[in-house]
Amino acid sequence: MEVDRELLDRLRAFHGHLGPFAMLGYRAGRLALRVLEAPSHFGIHARVTCPPHTPPSCFVDGIQYGTGCTLGKGNIELVASDTIAVTVTVNEGGATVTVVPRREVIDRFGPWMAEADDETAALRVLSMSDEDLFAQV
């Protein structure tokens, strides 16, 4: 697998380090934009559900980086939940998609980080197919 080093460097700079939850959020955000054929940053809104503590809350930073939705622009909202998901809506026309990571993938993050490190776990997430990562799109 060829790794996009620029992506890794930018996500690391944005989030502070590379970890599997941030990478999962990035992948979910990019997938949502592809499905919707929507632009990033403007004209969209993201509603993120996840636990309000780290490491699962790192999913939100991945969504911000992947979609361009930010708190400053007011086009992202965070809802505390035990469920990790993102719903992206196109403002004009209202097209929407919800992306839900597979629970069995998230359950692997702890063992992956224990056997190696956060960045290795993030690279595993990056290397997986959308079908393997996400239960619902």
Q: Which domains does the chain have, with CATH numbers?
A: 5-136 (3.30.1330.130)
Give the E-state strand segments of 14-83 in sequence order.
Answer: 44-50, 76-80
Bridge partner residues of 86 (DSSP): 48, 99
pLDDT in tens, 97-118: 999 999 999 999 999 999 999 9
Per-residue pLDDT tens for 33-80? Answer: 999 999 999 999 999 999 999 999 999 999 999 999 999 999 999 999
Least confident of 1-5, 86-90, 110-114: 1-5
- The reported pTM is 0.97
